[in-house]
A and B are shown apart, each in its own frame.
Chain A
Amino acid sequence: MGEVRQKKRQEKEKSTGKKKHSKVFLKKNKSNDKRRLNRRGPQLAPSIRREVGQVKEDTESDNYEVSDCSEGETFPGDVYEYEEAAPEEESRKNHRYDTVDNYDYELPDHFKDEDVSSDDEEIDGRNGKGNLTEDSDDDNSKKDDGSHARMLQSITGMPREAFEGKKKSKIVISEAYQESEYNPSRDVLDGNGRISIEDLLNPLQGKPGYSMLRKRIHQTEKKSMALQAPLPKADQEKVERKVAYEQSKKEVSKWEPIVKKNREASTLYLGEDVDLGYSTVGAIASEFKPRTEIEKKIASLVHDGKIMEAHKNDGSKLLELNKVSFEDEKDRQNRLAKMRSLLFRHEMKAKHIKKIKSKTYHRLLKKDRVKEMSVQIEMDPDAAKDLAMKQEFKRAEERMTLKHKNSSRWAKRILSRGLNAQDEGTRAAIAEQLHQHANLTRKMHTLKDSSSSSDESSDEEYSDDQSADESNSRASKLLEKAKEKTLKALEDGEEAPNSGLLALPFMVRGMKKREEAAAEEAKLAIQEFESLSKQLNNSEIENMDTETTNGRRTFGSMKKSAPEPRKKTKSEYYDDTEDEDDTQAGEAVGYDGDNNKSSLFADANIDSDILCEDSKTHQNSVFKSFDETVRDPGPKTTYEVAIFASGTWKKAKDLEKRVDSKPSPIVSSKLEFQGQVTKETMQDVDDQSDSDQELMVDGVLSSANNESYELPSQSDLIRQAFAGDDVEEEFERQKEEILNEENPEPEKPVLLPGWGQWTHVQKKKGLPSWMLKEHELANKKRQEALKNRKDANLKHVIISEKLDKKAEKLYTKTLPFPYTEKDVFEHSIRMPIGPDFNPTSVIGALNRPEVVKKSGVIIKPIEFEEVDPHQKVEEHKQKGQKQKRKNGKTNHGKSAKKMKKVGA
């Protein structure tokens, strides 16, 4: 096969040989560049060249002739031919192919190389100066050689041949190949007649880029330096890596703006542009087009106008025939469903119940049944009759058989042995049996008795149903009982301990006072009971109001002697107490007891006050309580009046009298004021006397309309209105208490008595310093805490500083991650973002999630797009909520993508 190819090549060469040879010696400017290129072409090894040398000379000379005649011819496909030729040359080198003999162009033997050179010279002279000078040098050297030989001959006397032989051999050496662009002539290779850059540059003069090219060449010429040795491999790789990094950096950095934009975007829209396609069956069906023949046929039939029409008509007719009203159908279905479900449920329930083995359950079930029966008996006379019959039957049977009357063998045996000899269980069984018997044989009317008695007791609550007489008697009974009890309590409460804390003088005093109060109270109560019992006798009228007595009694004003007359008057004017009230008299007594207690406590409080403040005498406290009694009825009466806007003139007067009748020089001024108040209230109340009305108008209007009305000074007013009332002090005390509770006062350091006190000297030293120090520190801390309280500067305000544990979950425990400033965080959450607080136009933007995507849609990887990093922010603003972007999924995805791009 190799041979065949070679032959082909040879043939080709034959045909193109001429051209080639002609081209070799074309020393035209056009082919200059090519020449330069070809200088690097393959060359034969010098040994081969030498071998073939003789033959080549001949062929070369022949070539010259040919070239002369075909001078000026140029071919466009020169480069191509070179490529073709290259393997040929190689083949020669390898000796696998026959050497080219060039038998076509056999050179004559007398052919000489020198002739050719002259030809060369001529051409060179035409083209370049450098070449010409070289050639002339060559000539000179030949001449020199001749003279030199002659000189040597004359000097040495040796024959000329001895010198010429050397020269001859020199002449013999010639090119192994014919000179072509692939194997340039020797002198070209040696450097003679070289083509310089200038040669190549000159023809370009006047073309675009020329000056630049020249400049660069100048520079390179100036800075000509030797090539360095190649770097070691590791360094080389390093350099390469560096360059690669630069490159990849450039590649990657082009993604930066996109990634940045995505990162900064408040919302990412993924897979927005994906069309999910058909969504409904109808939509899919509407797209259907008949394709096959049968489909077409069917379509033509189905969509035929006539058929459609007919179907329409027929269908409607059929429907009309079939008409069942919607409600009927639904009703039927519902009914059926209900029946079915009921059946099912029932079945299930029955199954379930059947399975239950619990005795308790069955007992309960039985109980229920019995209860139901009893209810039925009450409701249904027939059932009652039935039951009565049944029971009668049972009773009859029992009486007949005496089944449970110790008639069984077992019972007889036990009785014969003696009941006392039996154990507990047996005795119980016998008793049970007897009981059963008794039950069964008991007469019926006993049952009825018990039920009526129970009714009586339960009816007490529903006093409305009872007859008035009954209730009255009951009430009077109750009253009497209450009276007795109070009297007893009065008598009992006389004993006082003679020793201990209670024997201290102030305690005794307090006790006495308490006793007095209690006695008064009791008296009051008794009186009231009396009045009530009186009332009961003549009370017939029923009235709605039930509030009065109870309300008052529980109000806590009972501890004073004052209310007594008022109550009386009240009962006179409003003899309208209901029997319900009467029945609750006992209850009221209970309340009274409570009140007694509370009053006692109040007194005790006062006592403790006295204890605390030594300056205040006992008398003072008495006055205080006195004042209270005076003060209290004021609002009390107004309250009453507000309820009963009818004539209470007399009552008010009574009050006034009562107030006046308290002679006390110390509190007289206060009393006066109090009188004023009562007067006012009285005036308010009275809507019958005109003069009073006027007064009232004056009073009200003067307070409201007349701003210039001269009020006494603030302190005066307070003293007048609430004399002896130490509201402020009490509040301060409370505050102190609360402060102590929340920031407890440190305990005073104490030493154990005798501890560390061996002598009186040590005693003098006092407490150790560390204890004192500790105490001081604790005190200081407390002061600090108190100072930091919100209410530190507000005298009359206590703001609780207790932490609400339940509310703790409503607050943020720690600052959430990106925030570093509390202030910034709290400002950022100040706006509510819910739909209640924002217009609908912005609610979407406020609440949009970080990523918006459709479910089930594949998210495409990020795509490159030009983003102007500077314009981005404004663009974002403009787009606002309706911003649509195609973006990568996550950071991870993005980076993966980036890497991919870099690799590509």
Chain B
Amino acid sequence: MEKELGNVVTERILPPTEQEVSNEIDVKVKKYMRGEGANLEVLKDKKLKGQLSAIEDLYGKSAKAAAEVEKWLMPSEGGYLETEGLEKTWRIKQETISHEVDILSRRNQHDIILPALGPYSIDYTSNGRYMAIAGRKGHLALVDMKDLNLIKEFQVKETVRDVVFLHNELFFAAAQKKYPYIYNREGTELHCLKEHGSVRRLQFLKNHFLLVSINKFGQLHYQDVTTGSMVGSFRTGLGRTDVMQVNPFNGVIATGHSGGSVAMWKPTSSAPLVKMLCHPGPVSALAFHPNGHLMATSGAERKIKLWDLRKFEVLQTLPGHAKTLDFSQKGLLAYGTGSFVQILGDFSGAQNYNRYMAHSMAKGYQIGKILFRPYEDVLGIGHSMGWSSILIPGSGEPNFDTWVANPFETSKQRREKEVRSLLDKLPPETISLNPTKIGTLMAVKKKEKKTKKERDAEEEAAVDAAKGITMKKKTKGRNKPTKREKKKHEIIEKAKRPFLHEQIKEEELSRKKSRLSEEVELPKSLQRFARKKTAT
């Protein structure tokens, strides 16, 4: 009864719309608070408490302002297909969609047939404005997707396996027969990266300015494109693969291998961060959700698995074979096999992916690569006969942040952004599984004690060194054999001494420890008198 009354009162105070707004903002504020503040009650230091509470207030204010900004400046919401009754979303064809959408969107539905130069691989810039295509038989092209204008097209007359944009549309790298090359927008060859060898797959880390490649010997190379230095280069030791994908959340590179394992790498260590057995057979494709917590893998045994990367557990196993996988910005998962594309969606919000849409190409087209276009509801498909683009409602992020990526970027803005992003370039060692932990307290490193054997070996070496010392020839009286012997003995003893000291110290420590443990084990009746340990 009271509750009801309370509700009535609040409703009287706030009109329903306003209340809705405030609720919405509350949710967003929570998002922008990035977790809860520390429990200040624990603190004994009043000054620190005061400072922290002041800072916390500021954070709250900032979060609120950010939420309001988001509320009023980013109003568009992503939609998706909704059906009535018996209709199913995956039965809706592209043709039906094209009747319902505006002209500009309709332009995004197209098939470009380029039969001559083999299966095509595609890549989009981070703002979704430009697309690079690479035909296996040497066809490289740059397309402005806004007006479908071909910027540059050229033939390199050798196999091109992959293409990837660098930080903006001015540069792109192509993995060619022997080496990867970097071209500029005009098609001028800028660099030939011979160190990488015959590269199978390329990736670019935008925040770290690292070009990552895996070559046919299974070697992983990280090259800094700003300085040209090779940041990391090591062999995976897991055989040849062309399944490599970067986790956009933390910059970790994942490679899928024929043994069914997926390995995750960072440039500063030659051993994989994580190695997991995902499939019993070869891994055929790999994709990461933009939030970095979800990974999709597909194996040759006709299974697609969704992994929770926080727990390294399977969330969902779906039937189906995928030659290529991709997550959209809004979290739709597309996979392509043969000439068929299937899109899965997670509309329940419980990491439960269901069928959302499907699209089949003309018979016989072999899909090589599918890629969602950023900030557009478009899925690009590179296949054996050219490339296609289809509409997938609800796939792209509707609100773009011009500080992150601007699809309508002017050249001046692009220049500005380049400089800014260079200034904000992250060093390669910031790549780790959980980048949010950076800046926090380092985990206490356990001090590695030397084993007894090692110590003995060291002592022996020291003694040997002491024995090896050649004695000076002294003057008459002091060169007696007895004296020499004595001196020698002394030197050896001296060499041994520090080790003895160490040993003694250790023994003492262990004795102390044992004493401490004895102390702790008081009889139960006396335990309550023992000094309580301060809570740490």
Contacts and interface: CB of A to CB of B under 8 A. Distances in A.
Interface string B235-278: 00000100000000000000000011100001011011111111
A828 B33 CA distance: 11
Given A697-B363, A703-B302, A824-B42, A722 B337 contact: no
16 contacts: A263-B47, A546-B159, A635-B282, A635-B300, A645-B366, A704-B340, A794-B312, A797-B312, A798-B272, A813-B442, A820-B44, A827-B38, A830-B34, A831-B59, A839-B65, A877-B57
B216 interface: yes
Interface in A257-272: 263-264, 266
A456 interface: no
A721 B280 contact: yes
A612 interface: no
Interface residues of A, number: 85
A554 B424 CA distance: 42
Given A645-B384, A704-B342, A727 B48 contact: no
A642 B119 contact: yes
A555 B240 contact: yes
A641 interface: yes
B27 interface: no
Contacts of A832: 34
A828 B52 CA distance: 7
B40 to A, nearest CB: 7
A839 B66 contact: yes
A263 B339 CA distance: 71
Given A555-B240, A635-B282, A721-B301, A807 B430 contact: yes
A815 B48 CA distance: 14
A423 B159 CA distance: 63
B432 interface: yes
A842 B55 CA distance: 12
B529 to A, nearest CB: 27
A725 B280 contact: yes
B58 interface: yes
Contacts of A797: 274-277, 312
Nearest to A816: B441
A721 B42 contact: no
A18 interface: no
Contacts of B104: none
B317 to A, nearest CB: 9
Given A825-B441, A827-B38, A828-B38, A836 B403 contact: yes
B440 A812 contact: yes
Interface stretch (A75-83, A485-493, A705-713): A705-713
Nearest to B259: A727
Interface of B: 33-40, 42-45, 47-48, 50-52, 54-55, 57-59, 61-62, 65-66, 69, 90, 117-119, 136-138, 157-159, 177, 216, 240, 259-261, 266, 268-269, 271-278, 280-282, 300-302, 312-313, 319-321, 337-340, 342, 355, 358, 360, 363-364, 366, 368, 384-385, 403, 424, 429-430, 432, 437-442, 445, 452-453
Interface stretch (A247-255, A533-541, A728-736, A859-867): A728-736
Contact of A838 (B66, B118, B269, B276): B66
B435 to A, nearest CB: 9
Contacts of A546: 158-159, 177
A841 B72 CA distance: 15
Contact of B36 (A811, A827, A841): A827
Given A797-B275, A799-B274, A821-B43, A804 B432 contact: yes
Contacts of B48: 818-819
Given A693-B364, A704-B340, A802-B269, A731 B430 contact: no
Interface string A297-321: 0000000000000000000000000
Contact of A831 (B62, B384, B453): B62
A820 B277 contact: no
Contacts of A827: 35-38
Given A818-B48, A824-B39, A812 B439 contact: yes
A308 to B, nearest CB: 43
A239 B89 CA distance: 96
A717 interface: yes
B223 to A, nearest CB: 17
A839 B55 contact: no
B439 A810 contact: yes
A530 to B, nearest CB: 26
A701 B282 contact: no
A424 interface: no
A807 B434 CA distance: 12
Given A643-B119, A645-B385, A824-B39, A839 B69 contact: yes
B45 A820 contact: yes
A839 B62 contact: yes
Q: Which of B48, B319, B338 has the most CB of A within 10 A?
A: B338
B439 A703 contact: no
A175 interface: no
A697 to B, nearest CB: 7
Given A264-B47, A811-B441, A877-B57, 18 more contacts: A545-B137, A547-B159, A693-B364, A696-B338, A700-B338, A725-B281, A728-B280, A798-B272, A800-B269, A804-B266, A807-B430, A818-B45, A825-B441, A826-B38, A827-B36, A829-B439, A831-B33, A839-B66
A345 B145 CA distance: 51
Contact of A821 (B38, B55, B66): B38
B275 A811 contact: no
A554 B218 CA distance: 13
Contacts of B38: 821, 823-828
Contacts of A709: 319
B366 A703 contact: no
A266 B54 contact: yes
A822 interface: yes
B442 A811 contact: yes
A796 B358 contact: no
Contact of B364 (A545, A645, A838, A876): A645
- Nearest first, the 3 closest Cβ-Cβ pairs linking A and B are A687-B364, A827-B38, A811-B442
A393 B466 CA distance: 76
Contacts of A734: 275
B438 A800 contact: no
A166 B266 CA distance: 131
A544 B137 contact: yes
A784 to B, nearest CB: 11
Nearest to A799: B274
Interface in A838-884: 838-839, 841-842, 845-846, 876-877
Contacts of A815: 441
Nearest to B155: A544
Interface in A771-825: 774, 791, 794, 796-800, 802-804, 806-815, 818-825
B259 to A, nearest CB: 6
Contacts of A803: 445
A822 B441 contact: yes
Contact of B34 (A700, A704, A831): A831
A845 B452 CA distance: 58
A708 B45 CA distance: 64
A350 to B, nearest CB: 36
Given A728-B280, A819-B48, A717 B269 contact: no
Contacts of B58: 842, 845-846
A687 B339 CA distance: 12
A851 B161 CA distance: 58
A348 interface: no
B139 to A, nearest CB: 10
Contacts of B138: 544
